[in-house]
């Protein structure tokens, strides 16, 4: 690296991994960042390797003020040291700092300013940050050497002040804005306001200063100079939103949808993707109107054509929500057939994968951006792979799973199970399948089917089951299992709870106080409409199977808060379809709610708890000793949790 970097020149970076935290690592990549026009833009390094060192040469554009970089592998990032970071000033041809350099350098390293002018992938790493007084010094340095940058600097300073992180005078900011408005009249300055600069000044006048006179002045300038620009766009959308809220029939969205459709033609999203949005509520209004326009036909007529028509105009940040609402939820609930939802899922996915970075996204390099299209959408693409399999595109599903495995590893039991299914279906070797299963067992993220495959292989190779349980336990991480056990037992309580009598699904009654007296009782509160409840049931089936011969233990699967009048039939269909051998019972009628949720409501008041799935374990005296709300994704880990508590209670004297 030369002692000085200059615009229009080059910067050559040579990296010796043996002297850094990446010593001994392979597959090292690099990203560099240029601070240009008050924002960071990331680029992938083109690295060459010689004698164990990595080298890249970077062309420095004429508007770049700072250069920063990082080197990284799959699990480690090197941004410098704990006292500094890899970064340099870029000087102009006269050897002076470029405009914006001081502010960018200060905000990048500030304790509380990095979200305003930081780099997400390096800002939160371990190098030493500077305090707010030092950041203020960098702001003052910027204005001292480049007073003409006040229209850009003021907004950053004001944003910092609004969060009380840096003491800056409001009067000074107001006076600076008034001076800035005269810049265009100064001979030789050759200054012309952009709409973004005026919008940011308006933002400060409104949200920090509350200066209506200054707001009116700025508004007139913006509307006069930038007709059909961002300010007009935001005002037009606000009018649509307010008319929607105040219409006589709020469920009839016809008029507001027509108005929003016209709005999108006049202000197409793709034209404004790099624009500065001044109103915090704008994105809320935009998302609300966009969903109303595209979801209305789906809700009323199961018609997705409007959604698909507007996909190219949809902000990138909404696309994942569309996939979740319009694909994942109906697919997971079984409300739509895979063949129907597949082309819709395919089009939304194609839109996500085809989008390029906007100005705000350029803090991620092109390679990082493509990676984010997977890492940010893992659950989405897992469901998409399942849909592909359902529509007889199993090879495409397997190829997608191969890619997803690079991000999931073996941390997600649902993915592990589906990946094993695809590996089998795709004719992959048993060695590859067993390697994945053993890695999942080690992390306690295996499904019952994975354990069955593992056991079957063991029986074949050992001519029987003898020694299998010890073999299985040896595959698990002893330290992880001990930590999980300690965490579970740490939550043990001893609280009396009212016993109930319940109707059994197959007929008859079961009374906790009489029929289950002296038993350990595991109760799983669930509902057919609850996705996490049903997702947890494979793990609960493992626990039921484990203790099926122990007569001192009773599992009850308590159906609660059902609203469908045919819920009993739905329960029977679900249990039969899944092949569960559960003792399902029905919650008691509750006069207050009008639902069968009396036990849920009563115990909820006792323990100040709400939500399902909710698991309660009662000891032989009828006290609740342990409870857990939610499901954390691993059948084997859930089975172990239940087992730790049962075994502990059985050992009590």
Region 600-620: what's the mean pLDDT? 95
Name the helix (H) or strand (E) containing 298. helix 282-301
Residue 215 — pLDDT band, cuts 50, 70, 90? very high
pLDDT in tens, 460-504: 999 999 999 899 999 999 898 999 999 999 999 999 999 999 999
Of 458, 476, 494, which residue sits at a domain end?
A: 476
Establish if 221 belongs to a structural domain: no
Residue 604 — pLDDT band, cuts 50, 70, 90? very high
Residue 168 — pLDDT band, cuts 50, 70, 90? low
Region 158-176: what's the mean pLDDT? 75
Taking the C-alpha atoms of residue 190 and residue 167, their distance in angstroms, rounded to an integer, is 32
Contact 101, 66 (CB under 8 A): yes
Taking the C-alpha atoms of residue 128 and residue 139, their distance in angstroms, rounded to an integer, is 19
Number of domains in the chain: 4
Specify whether 389 is located in the same domain as 413: no
Residue 113 — pLDDT band, cuts 50, 70, 90? confident
**Closest C-alpha to 317, from 263, 357, 345:** 357
* Of 31-40, 180-189, 496-505, minimum mean pLDDT range: 180-189
Specify whether 125 is located in the same domain as 36: yes
Tokens of 564: 């469908």
* Of 27-31, 244-248, 488-492, minimum mean pLDDT range: 244-248
Contact 154, 143 (CB under 8 A): no
Residue 433 — pLDDT band, cuts 50, 70, 90? very high
Tokens of 221: 């300038």
Establish if 466 belongs to a structural domain: yes
Q: Is 556 helix (H, G, I), strand (E, B) or coil?
A: strand
Specify whether 437 is located in the same domain as 352: no
Region 232-261: what's the mean pLDDT? 78
Of 131, 165, 199, which residue sits at a domain end?
A: 165
Tokens of 403: 């890619």
Contact 567, 529 (CB under 8 A): no
Return the percentage of the chain with pLDDT > 90, whole number.
Answer: 69
Whether the predicted pLDDT of 260 surpasses 60: yes
Establish if 269 belongs to a structural domain: yes
Specify whether 274 is located in the same domain as 388: yes
- C-alpha distances (whole Å) from 481 to each of 409, 478, 647 are 19, 5, 15
Specify whether 643 is located in the same domain as 515: yes
CB pairs under 8 A, 24+ apart, for 432-441?
436/405, 436/410, 438/475, 439/409, 439/410, 440/410, 440/413, 440/416, 441/472, 441/475, 441/476, 441/636
**3-class SS string, 584-650:** EEECCECCCCCCECHHHHHHHHHHCCCCCCEEEEECCCCEEEEEEECCCCCHHHHHHHHHHHHHHHH
Region 519-524: what's the mean pLDDT? 97
Whether the predicted pLDDT of 127 surpasses 70: no
Establish if 214 belongs to a structural domain: no
pLDDT in tens, 55-111: 999 999 999 999 999 999 988 999 887 667 888 999 999 999 999 999 999 888 887
Region 352-366: what's the mean pLDDT? 94
DSSP conformation letters of 77-131:
EE-B-SS-BSEEEEE-TTSPBPTTHHHHHHHHHBSS-HHHH--HHHHTSSSPPBP
How high is the pLDDT of residue 278?
Answer: 73
Q: Is 168 helix (H, G, I), strand (E, B) or coil?
A: coil
Region 616-631: what's the mean pLDDT? 95
Pairwise pLDDT comparison (82 vs 225), residue with the higher score: 225
Return the percentage of the chain with pLDDT > 70, whole number.
Answer: 96
pLDDT in tens, 295-305: 888 888 888 99
Specify whether 321 is located in the same domain as 367: yes
In the numeric block, the tokens 């300073």 are attached to 157
Specify whether 578 is located in the same domain as 646: yes
- C-alpha distances (whole Å) from 385 to each of 188, 235, 376, 577 are 62, 42, 16, 22
How high is the pLDDT of residue 167?
Answer: 63
Of 407, 435, 457, which residue sits at a domain end?
A: 407
Establish if 177 belongs to a structural domain: no
How high is the pLDDT of residue 282?
Answer: 83
In the numeric block, the tokens 């029986």 are attached to 459
Specify whether 528 is located in the same domain as 394: no
Specify whether 151 is located in the same domain as 111: yes
Specify whether 614 is located in the same domain as 565: yes
Specify whether 401 is located in the same domain as 429: no
Can you give the residue range of the structural domain that contains 468? 409-476
Establish if 198 belongs to a structural domain: no
Average pLDDT taken over every residue of the chain: 91
Residue 223 — pLDDT band, cuts 50, 70, 90? very high
Question: Checking phi first, is residue 538 left (phi over 0); if not, alpha (psi -120 to 50) or beta?
Answer: alpha
* Of 54-63, 284-293, 404-413, minimum mean pLDDT range: 284-293
Specify whether 298 is located in the same domain as 384: yes
Give the range with max mean pLDDT: 159-168, 233-242, 310-319, 323-332.
Answer: 323-332
Establish if 172 belongs to a structural domain: no
Whether the predicted pLDDT of 597 surpasses 90: yes
Establish if 53 belongs to a structural domain: yes
pLDDT in tens, 629-648: 999 889 999 999 999 999 99
Tokens of 581: 């051998």
Whether the predicted pLDDT of 164 surpasses 80: no
Taking the C-alpha atoms of residue 98 and residue 523, their distance in angstroms, rounded to an integer, is 67
How high is the pLDDT of residue 417?
Answer: 96
Tokens of 475: 């595959």
Residue 171 — pLDDT band, cuts 50, 70, 90? confident
């Amino acid at each position: 690296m030369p002692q000085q970097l200059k615009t229009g020149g080059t910067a050559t970076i040579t990296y010796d991994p043996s002297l850094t935290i990446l010593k001994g690592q392979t597959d090292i990549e690099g990203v560099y960042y240029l601070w240009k026009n008050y924002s960071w833009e990331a680029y992938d390094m083109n690295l060459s390797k010689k004698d164990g060192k990595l080298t890249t040469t970077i062309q420095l554009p004429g508007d770049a003020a700072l250069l920063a970089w990082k080197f990284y592998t799959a699990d480690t990032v090197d941004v410098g040291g704990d006292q500094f970071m890899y970064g340099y000033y870029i000087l102009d041809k006269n050897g002076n700092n470029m405009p914006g350099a001081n502010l960018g350098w200060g905000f990048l390293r500030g304790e509380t300013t990095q979200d305003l002018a930081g780099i997400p992938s390096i800002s939160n790493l371990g190098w030493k940050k500077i305090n707010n007084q030092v950041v203020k010094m960098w702001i003052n340095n910027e204005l001292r050497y480049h007073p003409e940058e006040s229209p850009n600097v003021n907004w950053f300073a004001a944003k910092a002040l609004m969060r009380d992180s840096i003491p800056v005078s409001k009067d000074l900011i107001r006076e600076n804005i008034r001076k800035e408005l005269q810049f265009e009249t100064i001979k030789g300055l050759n200054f012309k306001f952009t709409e973004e600069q005026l919008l940011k000044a308006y933002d400060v006048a409104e949200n920090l200063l509350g200066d209506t006179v200054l707001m009116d002045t700025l508004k007139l300038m913006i509307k006069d100079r930038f007709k059909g620009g961002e300010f007009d766009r935001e005002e037009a959308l606000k009018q649509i939103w307010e008319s929607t809220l105040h219409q006589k029939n709020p469920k009839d969205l016809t008029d507001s949808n027509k108005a929003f459709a016209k709005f999108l033609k006049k202000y197409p999203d793709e034209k404004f993707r790099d624009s500065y949005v001044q109103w915090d509520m704008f994105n809320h209004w935009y998302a609300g109107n966009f969903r109303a326009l595209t979801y209305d036909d789906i809700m009323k007529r199961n018609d997705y054509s409007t959604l698909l028509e507007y996909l190219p105009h949809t902000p990138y940040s909404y696309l994942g929500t569309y996939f979740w609402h319009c694909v994942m939820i109906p697919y997971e609930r079984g409300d739509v057939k895979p063949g129907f939802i597949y082309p819709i899922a395919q089009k939304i996915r194609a839109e996500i994968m085809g989008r390029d970075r906007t100005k705000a996204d350029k803090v991620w390099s092109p390679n990082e951006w493509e990676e984010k299209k997977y890492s940010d959408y893992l659950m989405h693409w897992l469901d998409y792979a399942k849909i592909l399999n359902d529509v007889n595109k199993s090879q495409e599903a397997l190829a997608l799973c191969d890619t997803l495995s690079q991000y999931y590893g073996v941390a997600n039991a649902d993915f592990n199970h589906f990946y094993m299914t695809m590996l089998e279906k795709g004719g992959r070797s048993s060695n590859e399948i067993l390697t994945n299963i053993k890695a999942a067992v080690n992390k306690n993220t295996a499904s019952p089917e994975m354990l069955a495959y593992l056991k079957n292989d063991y029986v074949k190779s050992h001519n029987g089951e003898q020694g299998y349980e010890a073999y299985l336990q040896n595959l698990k991480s002893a330290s992880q299992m001990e930590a999980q056990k300690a965490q579970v037992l740490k939550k043990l309580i001893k609280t009396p709870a009212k016993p109930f009598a319940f109707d059994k699904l197959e007929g008859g009654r079961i009374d906790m106080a009489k029929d289950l007296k002296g038993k350990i009782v595991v109760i799983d509160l669930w509902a057919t409409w609850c996705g996490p409840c049903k997702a947890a049931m494979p793990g609960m089936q493992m626990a039921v199977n484990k203790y099926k011969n122990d007569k001192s233990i009773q599992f009850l699967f308590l159906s609660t808060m059902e609203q469908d009048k045919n819920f009993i039939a739905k329960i029977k269909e679900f249990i039969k379809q899944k092949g569960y051998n559960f003792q399902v019972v029905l919650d008691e009628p509750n006069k207050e709610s009008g639902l069968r949720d009396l036990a849920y409501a009563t115990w909820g008041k006792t323990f100040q708890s709400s939500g399902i799935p909710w698991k309660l374990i009662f000891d032989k005296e009828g006290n609740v000793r342990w409870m857990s709300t939610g499901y954390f994704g691993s059948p084997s880990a859930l089975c172990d949790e239940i087992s730790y508590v049962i075994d502990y209670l059985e050992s009590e004297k």
